[in-house]
């Protein structure tokens, strides 16, 4: 399957999950209380650190998430599928909560500046992971597919590097611009 199709699969999984998150009531599961507390603890831990340290933390966290998904993708593509669906659902769920507590403008100010880079990078990275994971799985079960594995890896590494490069401006904006917009 061509990379473009995997990109559409990734967008579809993320989009459906985002819509499900938007449609899910926060009160339905009582979910966010523990997650919000964990994020508040993380924010309290990071707050006294210099912004450069926060930038490095955000960048490394995002890069490692995409790389781990890529590395573990040959295990029946479970990690990229879970990453796309859980992240889409959580963003939708948290967005609903933020809109109720603050406003749509506050949500957009918090997500759009860095999300313009981070979401495409995440979706590209997960599409690469899906493509590579399926190629490895097919190569395990079909000998004729093994010769296609190396070209697939080369092509996917090119897109993976683009996705990782997009995470750099996303982390810069998330560290230095987003906090200014939310104050």
Domain ranges (residues) in the chain: 3-23+56-176
Tell me which residue of 126, 101, 137 sits closest to 26, measured CA to CA. 101
Tell me which residue of 59, 56, 37, 43 sits closest to 170, measured CA to CA. 59
pLDDT value, residue 25: 72
pTM: predicted TM-score of the whole model, two decimal places:
0.89
Calculated CA dihedral for residues 41, 42, 46, 51, nearest 10 degrees: -140
pLDDT tens-place values along the chain, 183 residues long: 688 999 999 999 999 999 999 998 766 556 556 665 666 676 777 777 899 999 999 999 999 999 999 999 999 899 999 999 999 999 998 899 889 889 999 999 999 999 999 999 999 999 999 999 999 999 999 888 889 999 999 999 999 999 999 999 999 999 999 999 988
pLDDT value, residue 24: 86
pLDDT value, residue 94: 87
pLDDT value, residue 46: 72
pLDDT value, residue 76: 83
For 74, what's the count of Cα atoms within 13 Å in the CB-facing half-sphere?
11
């Amino acid at each position: 399957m061509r990379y473009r199709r995997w990109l559409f699969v990734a967008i579809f999984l993320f989009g459906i999950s985002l819509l499900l998150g938007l449609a899910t009531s926060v009160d339905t599961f009582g979910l966010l209380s523990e997650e919000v507390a964990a994020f508040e603890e993380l924010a309290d831990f990071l707050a006294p650190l210099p912004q450069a340290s926060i930038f490095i933390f955000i960048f490394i966290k995002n890069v490692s998430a995409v790389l781990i998904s890529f590395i573990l993708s040959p295990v029946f593509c479970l990690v990229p599928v879970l990453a796309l669906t859980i992240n889409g659902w959580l963003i939708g769920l948290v967005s609903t909560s933020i809109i109720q507590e603050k406003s749509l403008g506050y949500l957009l100010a918090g997500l759009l500046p860095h999300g313009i880079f981070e979401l495409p990078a995440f979706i590209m990275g997960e599409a690469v992971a899906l493509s590579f994971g399926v190629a490895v799985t097919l190569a395990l079960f079909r000998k004729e597919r093994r010769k296609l594995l190396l070209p697939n890896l080369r092509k996917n590494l090119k897109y993976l590097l683009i996705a990782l490069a997009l995470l750099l401006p996303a982390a810069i904006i998330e560290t230095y611009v987003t906090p200014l917009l939310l104050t």
